[in-house]
Amino acid sequence: MQELRTEPRQRRSQQSIDAILDASERLIHEQGQVGFTANELAAAAGMSIGRVYYWFPDIPSVVTALVERSASRLARAFGESVTDQYGTTTPLLLQRAISQMCKYVDENPASVALCLTGGSEGPGHLLSDQLIEFASTLVIDRVPGIPAIEAEVVARTAVGITLGMLNGYTIAGPARPLIQQELVYVLSAYLYARFPPPEDFTWTVPERAVQPSRPSRRDFTESVQVWPALAPDQI
């Protein structure tokens, strides 16, 4: 966990730290990358630069603390989305997970930019690693016998798609519900095409250009329905 220069001793002190992290969140979201200065951060937080340095030794320390806060919130969001997942079809679980993810991005708008900045060595790798671990666990649970390396490839693919579409989601304004809906369609189609249930017709058509990889558990793929298109007054 990121060490502060000074440990907060009262609620007002914690509020100062939260103000710094909230300001860094806004700056990263607005700029699309980690590139703000200490002066910009102090101005955005509404405090002196000396106050910022009282709590954090440098900007990387601020970003690290922000990532750790975001990672903790992400873990809670995913925990809520997969409650009582057993017996739930994969598309329905994806609806829940993506709904929680979009809500999380609404509340932590810098999270996508952090994940996309700097690859595996970037400041947000902790967040992207969490997403990959979650997706990999989901695949292993729903596709019997899949090797861990294959599950990780699928997970990285799904996370890459998700982050790419959420990057557009963060700036989409009124179109956000449409992108959220589209992400459910895309991931549902990808996972169903790769892991259809054992009785799916694709197993009997060997000349298909795109062949399925492995059968998924039958109880998780009884339905591939996603929610209907939004009415005009919902857009």
| 5 falls within a domain | no
Residue 152 belongs to domain spanning:
64-197
| 38 falls within a domain | no
Q: Is the pLDDT of residue 227 over 70?
A: no
Q: Is the pLDDT of residue 2 over 60?
A: no
| 70 falls within a domain | yes
Residue type, 17: I
How many domains, in total, are found in the chain?
1
| 160 falls within a domain | yes
Whether residue 169 contacts residue 176, with contact meaning beta carbons closer than 8 Å, is answered with yes
Residue of 199, 160, 166, 159 lying closest to 180 (CA atoms): 166
Residue of 100, 104, 95 lying closest to 227 (CA atoms): 95
Q: What do you get for the CA distance between the two ends of the chain, in Å?
A: 41
CA distance 146 to 212: 13
* CA neighbours closer than 13 Å in the CB half-sphere of residue 16: 20
| 104 falls within a domain | yes
| 106 falls within a domain | yes
Over residues 151-177, the pLDDT tens digits come to 999 999 999 999 999 999 998 989 999
| 183 falls within a domain | yes
State whether the Cα torsion 140-143-145-150 is positive or negative: negative
Per-residue pLDDT, 85: 64
